[in-house]
């Protein structure tokens, strides 16, 4: 039994009408150590005893008396504060962690459940830019965390590989696709395709008929015109090659790349179903689903030329996912500007009679802008994600060359640290917060940063390498009761809670803050308490603590998508 459960048990033995669950919910973690490790507020009992909560807290302390697992139990105002027995606490936490090793902090709350995490989902033939970093990294971390909580996860990259913009691109290529252009695309696909797209958009102003031509080509594509299909497949191929370079740098893998085009042939069935269920309405030749009575704008689901739309493809995708994976939750990691889209889409699914509409979750995040304004691909205001990573690696290389020129595997470490810094910073804040991208901030490695955590991890590795004894949990735990050691152990005990919170709220930053907090506590311990000493018993105990910190830091970084170099 853990200490929190023990507190609950003590309470239900006195307040017998409380259930274990209620008692557990009542328990708080005090904001500072002098208020103990657990606290129970007594407001709830004021009615029953017709006394002030403070008086009740006093009475309760008396009734509880001495308990072996706690150093002291005292009242403070309306609270009963519990101070754990530090030695027993150390023994319990470290024993468990030592036993569970790489599984420490994991749960089985997701057992038997499949969760879809859709993330990244860039539009092909367009730059993979800093704006995509958010969905890509937040989504990857959520996917990792869910997996660690025991779910069967399916990571989907819902590529934006369909829609009128491909009609534009095909039409532009038909007009201007000289052999030189083809060669340029082969060499440097995204910027060249972007040029075609930008030019097409500009010329539409002079040639309004281009709009119709683009629509025509998209319709042809949907109807399976071979020439259109071939071109589209080529655009998709070259784009994916580019995206994959960045995914590889991040070490991100998807289970499925079923993007918008994948649902092309599933569209007629969805349209039929909408019709059958009486949800379609004609609107100047196009088809809409009326949503005004739900406080939403109507959704356009089919254009007058019969071509489908983004929202229709999303309806088809959700239904396909339910049929294929029977998901417990279907998570979309997509920016806040698409809130209306997802609200409309969920309502349509609800109106179709599917109660799993509400198992679909839009996990939103705030926008990234640039110091000189918002990102605007068409105006050339864009920072390529790959450039960000390469610069971070360059800067790390410089620092390593200055401080540690003899490091083994310098190149590999520079990559791990540079990219780790970018990931850590991206996942450091509440996801809904907007932010302005700044090179300075991204490349600053001081303070609460990825490199700081990685450095602390490397420090634990170095200590463990220096250990000339076997590390096990057969140690004198009374050695680990001083403040610095105890603070580290308390932090370690909170790992699972942090993960569960991150899971409940879809907030990887809870894990980021957790690991940097653990690193800070460990460094305080390291500076106060010599680990490699001649006193064997002391060394044994402190190395055990070091080992567990090592395991948890590594796991935390891994869940965020960071690598953990053993030497830095």
User: Which among 119-127, 215-223, 300-308, 442-450 is the span making contact with ligand ARG, rule CB under 6 A?
Assistant: 119-127
| Residues 506, 525: Cα–Cα separation, whole Å | 31
| Residues 111, 325: Cα–Cα separation, whole Å | 15
382 binds ligand ARG (CB under 6 A): no
Residues 28-87 that bind ligand ARG (CB under 6 A): none
C-alpha torsion sign, points 164, 169, 173, 176: positive
120 binds ligand ARG (CB under 6 A): no
Instruction: Give 129's strand partners.
Output: 384
User: Which among 117-125, 393-401, 421-429, 459-467 is the span making contact with ligand ARG, rule CB under 6 A?
Assistant: 117-125
Distances (CA, A) of 226 to 174, 235, 262: 14, 14, 17
By annotation, the residues acting in catalysis are: 126, 129, 132
Nearer to ligand ARG, 126 or 219 (CB): 126
334 binds ligand ARG (CB under 6 A): yes
239 binds ligand ARG (CB under 6 A): no
263 binds ligand ARG (CB under 6 A): no
| Residues 50, 541: Cα–Cα separation, whole Å | 49
Residues 141-170 that bind ligand ARG (CB under 6 A): 158, 160
Give me the count of residues in the chain. 568
CA-wise closest residue to 502 among 427, 420, 434: 427
- Decide if 171 contacts 210 (C-beta within 8 A): yes
Nearer to ligand ARG, 79 or 332 (CB): 332
User: Which among 103-111, 120-128, 194-202, 440-448 is the span making contact with ligand ARG, rule CB under 6 A?
Assistant: 120-128
Q: Which one of 121, 330, 487, 512 is in contact with ligand ARG (CB under 6 A)? A: 121
Query: Half-sphere exposure of residue 358, counting CA atoms within 13 Å on the CB side?
Result: 4
| Residues 6, 70: Cα–Cα separation, whole Å | 10
Nearer to ligand ARG, 346 or 555 (CB): 346
Query: Half-sphere exposure of residue 267, counting CA atoms within 13 Å on the CB side?
Result: 21
Distances (CA, A) of 383 to 139, 153, 189, 379, 387: 20, 31, 16, 12, 7
CB of 124 to ligand ARG, least distance (A): 9
User: Which among 26-34, 114-122, 176-184, 227-235 is the span making contact with ligand ARG, rule CB under 6 A?
Assistant: 114-122
242 binds ligand ARG (CB under 6 A): no
122 binds ligand ARG (CB under 6 A): yes
User: Which among 106-114, 121-129, 186-194, 501-509 is the span making contact with ligand ARG, rule CB under 6 A?
Assistant: 121-129
Helices assigned H by DSSP within 79-154: 86-100, 133-148
Nearer to ligand ARG, 69 or 118 (CB): 118
Q: Which one of 38, 70, 332, 509 is in contact with ligand ARG (CB under 6 A)? A: 332
| Residues 496, 107: Cα–Cα separation, whole Å | 8
CB of 158 to ligand ARG, least distance (A): 4
| Residues 83, 438: Cα–Cα separation, whole Å | 45
Structure tokens, 397:
């290389």
Q: What is the number of the residue whose Cβ is closest to ligand ARG?
A: 160
| Residues 135, 143: Cα–Cα separation, whole Å | 12
127 binds ligand ARG (CB under 6 A): no
Nearer to ligand ARG, 318 or 551 (CB): 318
314 binds ligand ARG (CB under 6 A): yes
| Residues 214, 205: Cα–Cα separation, whole Å | 14
Helix (H, G, I), strand (E, B) or coil at 82: strand
CB of 121 to ligand ARG, least distance (A): 4
Q: What residues make contact with ligand ARG under the rule CB under 6 A?
A: 118, 121-123, 158, 160, 314, 332, 334
């Amino acid at each position: 039994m853990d200490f929190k459960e023990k507190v609950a048990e003590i309470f239900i033995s006195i307040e017998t009408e409380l259930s274990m669950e209620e008692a557990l919910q009542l328990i708080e973690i005090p904001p500072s150590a002098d208020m103990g490790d657990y606290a129970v507020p007594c407001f709830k009992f004021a009615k029953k005893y017709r006394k002030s909560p403070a008086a009740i807290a006093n009475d309760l302390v008396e009734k509880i008396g001495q308990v072996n697992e706690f150093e002291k139990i005292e009242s403070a105002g309306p609270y009963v504060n519990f101070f754990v027995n530090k030695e027993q606490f150390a023994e319990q936490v470290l024993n468990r962690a030592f036993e569970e090793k790489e599984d420490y902090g994991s749960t089985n709350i997701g057992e038997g459940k499949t969760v879809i995490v859709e993330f990244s989902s860039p539009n092909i033939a367009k730059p993979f830019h800093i704006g995509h970093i958010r969905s890509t990294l937040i989504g990857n971390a959520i996917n990792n965390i869910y997996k660690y909580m025991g779910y069967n996860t399916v990571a989907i990259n819902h590529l934006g590989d369909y829609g009128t913009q491909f009609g534009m691109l095909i039409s532009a290529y038909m007009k201007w696709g000289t052999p030189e252009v083809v060669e340029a695309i082969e060499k440097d696909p995204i910027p060249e395709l972007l040029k075609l797209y930008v030019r097409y958009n500009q010329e539409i102003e002079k040639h309004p008929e281009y709009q119709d031509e683009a629509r025509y080509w998209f319709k042809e594509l949907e109807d399976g015109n071979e020439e259109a299909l071939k071109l589209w497949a080529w655009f998709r191929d070259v784009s994916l090659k580019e995206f994959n370079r960045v995914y590889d740098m991040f070490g991100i893998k998807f289970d499925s790349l079923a993007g918008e085009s994948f649902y092309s042939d599933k569209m007629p069935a969805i349209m039929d179903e909408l019709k059958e269920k009486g949800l379609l309405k004609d609107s100047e030749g196009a088809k809409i689903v009326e949503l005004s009575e739900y406080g939403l704008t109507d959704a356009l689901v089919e254009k007058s030329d019969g071509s489908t739309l983004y929202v229709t493809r999303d309806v088809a995708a959700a239904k396909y996912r339910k049929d294929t994976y029977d998901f417990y939750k279907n998570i979309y990691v997509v920016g806040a500007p698409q809130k209306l889209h997802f609200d409309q889409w969920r309502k349509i699914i609800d109106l179709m009679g599917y109660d799993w509409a509400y198992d679909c979750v839009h996990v939103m995040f705030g926008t990234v802008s640039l110091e000189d304004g918002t990102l605007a691909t068409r105006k050339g205001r864009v920072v390529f994600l790959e450039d960000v990573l390469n610069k971070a690696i360059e800067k790390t290389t410089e620092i390593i060359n200055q401080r540690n020129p003899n490091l083994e595997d310098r190149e590999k470490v520079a990559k791990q640290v540079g990219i780790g810094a970018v990931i850590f910073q991206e996942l450091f804040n509440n996801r809904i917060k907007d932010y302005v991208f700044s090179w300075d901030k991204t490349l600053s490695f001081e303070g609460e940063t990825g490199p700081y955590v990685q450095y602390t991890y490397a420090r634990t590795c170095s200590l463990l390498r220096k250990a000339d004894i076997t590390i096990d949990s057969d140690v004198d735990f009374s050695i680990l009761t001083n403040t610095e050691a105890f603070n580290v152990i308390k932090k370690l005990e909170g790992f699972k809670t942090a993960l569960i919170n991150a899971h409940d709220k879809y907030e990887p930053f809870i894990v980021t803050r957790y690991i940097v907090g653990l690193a800070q506590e460990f460094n305080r311990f390291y500076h106060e308490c010599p680990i490699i000493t001649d006193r064997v018993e002391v060394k044994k105990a402190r190395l055990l603590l070091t080992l567990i910190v090592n395991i948890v830091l590594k796991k935390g970084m891994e869940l965020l998508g960071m690598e953990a170099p053993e030497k830095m």
